[in-house]
């Protein structure tokens, strides 16, 4: 089947899905800041309000997420996939996310990795988003006929924690060392003040980014994991390698 043409890359948004109100910020907030500061539109879709969390009420966590999105220069909306800690891989949820993809028409979709050794909602959402991006392409899906089909260019996974990084896949590192990017990312993570009662997540993610930066010769780096092989027009479009031969 021939893919449906996408929107122009320079005008289409980046769409980031998170299972909980803080996942996008902790997992790839620096990447988001880099993109918005470069003029790219970024849309957040958060699939619960953190109602099963140990700290913070759903109302509080919703407000924290809105504040963090504003700091990063992104817009945000919420969708219900059964509630925090109740995600399941159901067709109805896949279709709901596919409808969002058709409505927003992104070129790049970000989602948590489907690695099992993490919060189960993260892994389930990664699979749901991957499946939804595929169904969004198919013009014959009856439940989606109200919106024009759309093919994204890449589905790319982020890891909310080091344990969620795929062990059998080399990462693509994004350099988030610039002071303005690091500042925005840190502020966005700190906006989730209720979660700092459980753990110093902002400091943990910055330390992880510093360690990844050491791997590739920059100050701070965030790993991403493409679902499919990336295609470049030429070798000139490739970035540098993390390894120094």
**pLDDT for 104 beyond 90:** yes
pLDDT at residue number 16: 98
Least confidently predicted of 100-104, 156-160, 232-236: 232-236
pLDDT at residue number 239: 87
Task: Give the angle subtended at the CA of 110 by the CAs of 65 and 176, to the nearest 5°.
Answer: 75
**pLDDT for 21 beyond 70:** yes
Domain 14-237 has CATH 3.40.50.10320: yes
**pLDDT for 5 beyond 80:** no
User: What does each C-alpha distance from 74 to 66, 114, 151 come to in angstroms?
Assistant: 9, 24, 22
Average of per-residue pLDDT across 45-74? 97
209 vs 199, residue with greater confidence: 209
pTM of the predicted protein model? 0.93
For residues 33 and 40, what is the distance between their CA atoms, to the nearest angstrom?
10
At 135, give phi and psi (nearest 5°): -65, -30
Q: How confident is the model at residue 4 (pLDDT cuts 50, 70, 90)?
A: very low
Task: Give the angle subtended at the CA of 158 by the CAs of 156 and 164, to the nearest 5°.
Answer: 125
pLDDT at residue number 10: 59
Give CA 145 to chain center in angstroms: 26
H-helix or E-strand containing 33? helix 23-37
- The burial of 137, by beta-carbon neighbours within 10 Å (0-12 exposed, 13-18 middle, 19 or more buried), is given as buried
DSSP 8-class letter at 8: P
For residues 93 and 97, what is the distance between their CA atoms, to the nearest angstrom?
6
Least confidently predicted of 2-11, 109-118, 178-187, 226-235: 2-11
| E-only strand ranges, the chain | 14-18, 42-46, 75-78, 108-112, 154-158, 172-175, 221-226
pLDDT at residue number 59: 97
Structure tokens of 223?
A: 């790993």
Give me the chain's average pLDDT, please: 94
pLDDT at residue number 11: 74
**pLDDT for 9 beyond 70:** no
Q: Where are the domains of the chain?
A: 14-237
Structure tokens of 134?
A: 């595929």
């Amino acid at each position: 089947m021939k893919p449906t043409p996408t929107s122009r890359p320079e005008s289409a948004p980046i769409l980031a899905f998170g299972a909980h109100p803080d996942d996008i910020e902790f997992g790839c907030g620096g990447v988001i800041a880099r993109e918005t500061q470069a003029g790219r539109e970024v849309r957040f879709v958060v699939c619960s309000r953190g109602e099963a969390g140990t700290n913070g009420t759903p109302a509080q966590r919703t407000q924290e997420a809105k504040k963090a999105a504003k700091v990063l220069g992104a817009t945000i909306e919420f969708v219900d996939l059964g509630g925090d800690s109740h995600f399941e891989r159901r067709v109805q949820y896949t279709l709901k996310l596919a409808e969002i993809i058709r409505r927003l028409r992104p070129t790049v979709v970000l989602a948590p990795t489907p690695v099992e050794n993490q919060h189960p909602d993260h892994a389930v959402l990664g699979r749901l988003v991957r499946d939804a991006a595929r169904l969004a392409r198919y013009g014959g899906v009856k439940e989606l006929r109200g919106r024009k089909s759309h093919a994204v260019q890449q589905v790319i996974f982020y890891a909310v924690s080091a344990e969620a990084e795929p062990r059998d896949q080399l990462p693509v590192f994004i350099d988030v060392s610039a002071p303005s990017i690091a500042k925005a990312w840190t502020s966005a993570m700190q906006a989730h003040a209720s979660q700092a009662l459980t753990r110093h997540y902002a400091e943990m993610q910055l330390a992880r980014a510093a360690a990844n930066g050491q791997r590739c010769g920059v100050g701070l780096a965030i790993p991403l994991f493409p679902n499919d092989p990336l295609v470049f027009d030429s070798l000139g479009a490739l970035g540098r390698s993390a390894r120094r031969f």
